[in-house]
Structure 1
Amino acid sequence: MKKIITCLLSMAIAGNLMAQDVKPVVANLNKVKLEFKLDPEGKPVYAVYFDGKPVITNAALGFELVNDSAFSKHLELSNVEKADFDESWKPVWGEVSTIRNHYQQLTVHLRQKETPKRLINIVFRVFEDGVGFRYEFPKQPGLKYFVVAKELTQFNLTGDHKAFWIPGDYDTNEYQYTTSKLSQVDGWAVSEKATDIAVRVVPDQHAVATPLMLKSDNGLYINIHEAALVNYPAMQLHVNTHNFQLSASLVPDALGNKAYLHAPFNTPWRTIIVSDQAAAILNSKMILNLNEPSVIKNTEWIKPMKFVGVWWEMQTGKSTWSFANSLDTADAAGNLIANGTHGANTENVKRYIDFAAKNGIEGVLVEGWNTGWEDWFGNWKENIFDFTTPYPDFDVKGIAEYAKAKGVKMIMHNETSGSATTYERYLDTAFRYMNKYGYPAVKTGYVGKIIPRGEHHDGQWMVNHYERVAQKAADHQVMIDSHESNRPTGLHRTYPNWLASEAGRGNEYNAFSMGSAPDHETILPFTRLMGGPMDYTPGIFKLKGYAAGASDRQVHTTLAKQLALYVTLYSPLQMAADLPENYEAHLDAFQFIKEVPADWDDTKVIEAEPGDYITIARKAKGSANWFIGSITDENARTAKIPLSFLDKGKKYAVKVYSDAADADWEKNPEAYVIKEYKATSATVLKINIAKGGGAAITIQPLNNLRNVFH
């Protein structure tokens, strides 16, 4: 790691004079420029430009405190610091092996003109691909404990941009994305129709969640989100549909307050990523760079992995999570009477272990293994699950021994039913249980309304809870895959054992609802995945006729697109989500899932347009092999993929898994072809992709292969 401070500028300026001077202070890096100033009323405002084009104009900053003075006007500037910073660091796992962290930092020190003359700093970091900024409340005599009533951050846009958005919901991120002009944002209309989502709370008709992806009429791509969300509520954005001003909207607690803080304190970073190329948005590492380095010193136990699981069969109605039909079905001794459809039974789990071992899949997830599922859904209560008591047909010790003998790791499942209070009481006990039986990872769930009652999934209390779980898991060397949590903000840099989150509309919605539109996966990388990996659960091969009692239900992709998602939707914890028998019916296509890694040395975004198409190439960790995923929306297209990223002068074997000529996500989704070619860095692949389709490609040096072509 190398750190270079190239300049340091400190200006002690008379505050009263500077408050009257509206000339901005500036920071810039290549095409990105930031301007900050205090207006004549002492209000802090900022602007962002890209290549001379305005991105954010004259946008306000500041805070209102509960029963206290505001940091919003009548401020004076006491000091300005500017510094350049450049380093490279290596993530424990990720899309690339090395990340450059290069920015110019501008720190403005502000104080109130009136007594008690409290202090607040705003720190801006200007990167080549955008701007991050946060507020700092220094330690000071006049401010110790305080409560935030409102954050006044604005993002004033230059027009009615095309937006890719979901409603600003306090409890879920699992909506389909709407593509519209900002002036057409109506979260209530979307929420009212989203009856497949269990808990929906959208108080503001014109609020949207972050990450928010935008495209301007003059060709700028703009992404607004946050980084390093710690001890603070998630930020949503209120959209003024008339002047296109976005305002920070924080998720409140049960009393309507936003955050309870203690100086010194730093807020999360507010992030604006901007480019005139869509691919640059996906390449950005700004959010990761704004997070703190790993707090885990020994990370050797953190291992990306693929897994299968007893899960999709419950989603599609083939089996159940619960052992009995209800708590009322018990014998004279009080023992629950088996319903005969419980999926997490020893024999069935061993079948998945056998399949994983046979195909080189590292892990097996089992949901519904522990007691409590009969009392689960829709009951707003504590102590439904204890996380250590298996059902009578699940031999936890025998299964652990069987998996170990087969070289397979078991993945724990802890559904909390939204009762975070119960889970916190059991955390040490639950993780010791995992350690005892050799479970290296856990999938957590928070389906339902949150307990403590009145709190929300994305409020400050729950944000702290998710971090406590990651911290406690690290103490026990357990990796985390959190579902129904807040949107990631790059904290996997700080807690690399927090491998993935759901926090979005995953593949499961194709099982129990009418699913997601074909453009869904082309939007996710520009929105949900900007802050971190998603456990999307790709790899469904049986695309029609899989849902019990819903013969018209189908996945809105082709089979080839399901393969491509392993590359385009990044996660270090990738599930082969379908049933073993459905993979065994297409073993030639399943070969790609067997080979595709979950960890990478390099990533190239070859082409991208939000809502339309994405093509990404990734180089396997510690290998010369490359993998490519290319997907489209509801429109067929021809993907042109130059292989210029390959080493010059070398020959490669290319294997393409693509849509058949008559493939169509709606009419013929399981039709695919597999072709093999020889290629060099001068080769340009041209692949026809069907409606809702995709292509998955493996590339290996010829000198590493034997009998590749047959």
Structure 2
Amino acid sequence: MKTTTHLAIAVLALAASGAQAADAVITSPDGRITLRIADDGSRFSVNRRGEAVIAPSPLGLELDGHALGALTLETRQDVAEDRVIPLIATKAATARDHYRGATLTFREAGAGRRLFIDARAYDDGIAFRYRLEDTGPVQLRGERTAFVPAGDPSCLVTPADGSHEQPFERLRVSQLKPDVAYDVPVVCATPSGRTHYAITQANLKGYAGASLRREGEALRLHLSGVPGRPGPAFVSPGGLKTAWRAVMVADQAGKLIESHLVGNLNPAPDVARYGDFSWVKPGKAAWDWWSGPLVGMKPDMGAYKRFIDFAAESGFPYYLIDANWALGSGGCCDANPATDITRAAYGIDMPELARYAATKGVGLLLWAHWAHVDARMDEVLDTYVRWGIKGVKVDFMNRDDQQMVDFYERIAAATAKRQLLLDLHGAYVPAGLQRTYPNYITQEGVLGAEWSKMSARTTPSHNVTLPYTRMLVGPMDYTPGGFRNATPATFEVRAEMPLVQNTRGQALAMYIVYDSPLQMVSDDPTNYRGEPGFDFIKRVPTAWDETR
């Protein structure tokens, strides 16, 4: 890793000299992007090449019981970073982390409390976050942060829901409904068309996810609260570090996908604790749920060996055994109290299946409901390791509050410790946790192919919108591979052997365009044999040296 770091401290408000602080301006290494933060910490703006991208927009925190008073910029500590980070099993072999930044210290009038804002300007975007230190217990009701896109631009937006599985539509900011929460990223272009940008978040560790709602010209940030916990969205026994608020920028919409901004705002893997993650192997997985599940068969050894054999014949390194393999399985989508995910259903010998798969070069992945995993995480994962399982798909979280963000961190760490792959479904949009835990290899949080079993929303136009929107912030387990192709006019909803509203060419292109180092091959084996294009699926990689 090549690293260059420079630090400098500038005292901006010196009482002894009577100097008056000015707005803090952070400029990107190439000089094209400026992030300006007001000297009272109340607002920020973003310009690129002299053009307003984000007009002056509110900053601040809403603390329960002890709101911060008037602020004055006291000190500025500058930092410059330029390093190349090796990546594992993702869209590129390396990421350049190159920025100029500053930590701005604001002093509260009359009280002596301090608010820190960490701010960075990259060649491909900006980011900032808030910190409070030495404060004692913190209860945060929300942030005052908002984004005012300059010039009422046209944006691609999607409503926020628990599973983050809604289509995008193009609207001007003024057309957004004030009573609707919109998901990140919100992807816009300046009225001139010279700058394309995406508003998003990064590094949620210990914090809470957020959505955006229109308030006048602004997109106001709203933190997700813990269900059943009224009041504060964030609580801490001491101190506060928010998620990063980020704006990715590029000359063209297609250039945004080259950015590593979201990942770069997250910590590197803890090699001392988990090793170098060289064991993480990307690849494709046979999957039994989408086409049926288990068309014409029940969950038993024969049905599962059929998919193992298919994976082996096709050269796929994995087979994902989805729901109903565990003892007491049944129902969707709540956690069945009768289900025991440390025991297989009667007639299924999971260690024997894992041994059988291993003789054929196939690793098994197991599906589980998150609540069953959370209830006894160590016992569950240790059992899977003993069985010879290679990874887990954990489903139905459908939340992004502080408690759920903590679950993501714990399950990512626990699987990394045991060298298990992790795929999260019913998941919130990526915020870069994959950078810290490369075994967290893919996730949902996208309106994907499963919806072809239930609705007509996964249209060809939706499919080609995803690389310019949801995929900008991290991998997405769309679960491609449907080979019963139909036009929108001939499509019909079928739960078993579903159709897909795209050509065979689009179905194949998903394996190149869609970023998912663990890529599902979703259809039934009988629908692939002898079919045009299946040889391509067998051969196409799922991780890349470079993405443009």
> Normalization by structure 2: what TM-score?
0.92
Q: Larger C-alpha radius of gyration, 1 or 2?
A: 1
The structure 1 segments of at least 4 consecutive aligned residues displaced by more than 4 Å after TM superposition are: 15-24, 544-553
Give the Cα separation in 2 of the matches to 1:16 and 1:251. Answer: 44
Shift of 1:342: 5.4
Residues 384-422 of structure 1: CA deviation (Å, up to 9, x unaligned)? 432122222423233222212212111111124xxx3x4
Query: Mapping of 1:36-435 within 5 angstroms?
Result: 36-38=37-39, 42-70=40-68, 73-115=69-111, 117-138=112-133, 140=134, 143-169=135-161, 171-186=162-177, 205-219=179-193, 220-240=195-215, 242-243=216-217, 245-253=218-226, 254-256=228-230, 257-295=232-270, 296-314=274-292, 319=295, 343-367=298-322, 368-374=324-330, 376-377=331-332, 383-416=337-370, 420=371, 422-435=372-385
Q: Aligned to 1:312, what secondary structure does the other structure show?
A: coil
Over 3 Å counting, the alpha-carbon distance change for 1:98 and 1:113 in structure 2 is same
Q: In structure 2, do the counterparts of structure 1 residues 551 and 442 end up closer, same or farther at CA, with 3 Å as the change threshold?
A: closer
Say if 2:455 is the partner of 1:507. Answer: no
* 1:664 equivalent in structure 2: none
- The one-letter code matched in structure 1 to 2:92 is V
Which amino acid is 1:248 matched to? L
Structure-1 separation of matches of 2:411 and 2:190: 40
Cα distance in 1 between the residues matched to 2:362 and 2:256: 37
* Cα distance in 2, alignment partners of residues 470 and 87 from structure 1: 25
Return the alpha-carbon distance in structure 1 between the equivalents of residues 521 and 233 of structure 2.
Answer: 39
Taking the aligned partners of 2:94 and 2:160, their CA distance within structure 1 comes to: 34
In 2, Cα distance between equivalents of 1:428 and 1:479: 15
Q: Aligned pair in 2 of structure 1 residues 590, 185: CA closer, same or farther (>3 Å)?
A: same
Q: Does residue 514 of structure 2 align to residue 569 of structure 1?
A: yes
Residues 364 and 390 of structure 2 are in contact (CA less than 8 Å); yes or no, is this contact kept in structure 1?
yes
Structure 1 Cα separation of the partners of residues 213 and 349 of structure 2: 51
In the TM superposition, residue 525 of structure 1 has moved relative to its aligned partner by 2.2
Distance 1:372 1:16, change over 3 A: farther
Relative to structure 1, the CA distance from residue 95 to residue 473 in structure 2 (aligned partners, 3 Å threshold; closer, same or farther) is same
Distance 1:16 1:366, change over 3 A: farther
1:566-605 pair list within 5 angstroms = 566-586=511-531, 588-604=532-548
Per-residue CA deviation, residues 199-241 of structure 1 (Å, 9 max, x unaligned), is xxxxx7232111111123210211010111111111211113x
Do the aligned residues in 2 keep the contact of 1:512 with 1:547 (CA within 8 Å)? no
Q: Residues 549-698 of structure 1 correspond to what in structure 2 (within 5 A)?
A: 554-586=499-531, 588-604=532-548
> Is the alpha carbon distance of 1:392 and 1:231 closer, same or farther for their aligned partners in structure 2, counting shifts above 3 Å?
same
Q: Where does the alignment leave 5 or more consecutive residues of structure 1 unmatched?
A: 187-203, 320-340, 448-455, 605-710
| 1:552 to 1:499, Cα distance in 2 relative to 1, 3 A | closer
Q: CA deviation at 1:549?
A: 5.8
**Which residue does the alignment assign to 1:634?**
none
Q: 1: distance between equivalents of 2:65 and 2:143?
A: 14
- Deviations 1:284-325 (CA, angstroms, capped at 9, x unpaired): 11111111100232312211121102112336xx74xxxxxx
Q: Secondary structure at the match of 2:437?
A: coil
CA distance in structure 2 between the aligned counterparts of 1:386 and 1:372, rounded to whole angstroms:
6
Give, in whole Å, the separation in 1 of the partners of 2:9 and 2:497.
66
| Separation in 1, partners of 2:245, 2:454 | 36
Q: Helix, strand or coil: the match of 2:182?
A: strand
Deviation at 1:547, TM superposition (A): 7.4
Question: Percent identity, aligned pairs only?
Answer: 29
Structure 1 residue 45 displacement after superposition: 1.6
Return the alpha-carbon distance in structure 2 between the equivalents of residues 309 and 282 of structure 1.
28
Question: Hey, what's the Cα distance between the residues in 2 that align with 1:113 and 1:537?
Answer: 54
CA offsets 1:652-699 (integer angstroms, 9 cap, x no match) = xxxxxxxxxxxxxxxxxxxxxxxxxxxxxxxxxxxxxxxxxxxxxxxx
Q: Deviations over 1:318-349 (max 9, x none)?
A: 74xxxxxxxxxxxxxxxxxxxxx654221111
Q: Given the alignment, which residue of 521, 524, 531 partners 2:473?
A: 531
Q: Distance in 2 between matches of 1:291 and 1:500?
A: 16
Please give the per-residue CA displacement for 1:444-475, whole angstroms capped at 9, x wherever unaligned: 1116xxxxxxxx61111111111111111112
Alpha-carbon distance in structure 1 between the residues aligned to 2:179 and 2:289: 35
Check conservation: 1:27, 1:106, Cα contact below 8 A. no
1:540-598 Cα deviation digits (max 9, x unpaired) = 11125997867997412111111100111111101111111110040x41111111112
**Structure 1, residues 617-640: CA drift from partner, whole Å, max 9, x if none?**
xxxxxxxxxxxxxxxxxxxxxxxx
- In 1, are the aligned partners of 2:53 and 2:190 still within 8 Å (CA)? no
The one-letter code matched in structure 2 to 1:35 is R
- Contact 1:122–1:136 at 8 Å: present in 2 too? yes
- Equivalent residue number for residue 673 of structure 1: none
Q: Give 1:12 deviation, angstroms.
A: 4.8
* One-letter identity of the residue aligned with 2:445: A
Instruction: Output the CA distance in 1 between the equivalents of 2:445 and 2:297.
Output: 27
Is the 2:451–2:457 contact (alpha carbons within 8 Å) kept by the matching residues of 1?
yes
Cα separation, partners in 2 of 1:78 and 1:360, compared to 1, 3 Å: same
Normalising by structure 1, what TM-score? Answer: 0.72
Deviation at 1:489, TM superposition (A): 0.6
CA distance in 2, matches of 1:390, 1:550: 25
Tell me: CA distance 1:63–1:360, structure 2 relative to 1, closer, same or farther (3 Å).
Answer: same
Quote how far apart the aligned CAs of 1:265 are: 3.4
Q: Which residue of 2 aligns with 1:498?
A: 440
The answer as to whether partners of 2:23 and 2:36 remain within 8 angstroms in 1 is: no
| Aligned-partner Cα distance in 2 for 1:548–1:178 | 22
Equivalents in 2 of 1:294, 1:261: separation in Å?
Answer: 25
**Structure 2 spans left out of the alignment, 5+ residues:** none
Change (3 A) 1:558 1:549: closer
Distance 1:484 1:569 in 2: 18
1:18–1:77 Cα contact (<8 Å) kept: no
Question: Residue type of the partner of 2:8?
Answer: L
Shift of 1:62: 0.9
Residues 369, 394 of structure 2: 8 Å contact kept = yes
| d(CA) in 1 for partners of 2:209, 2:248 | 18
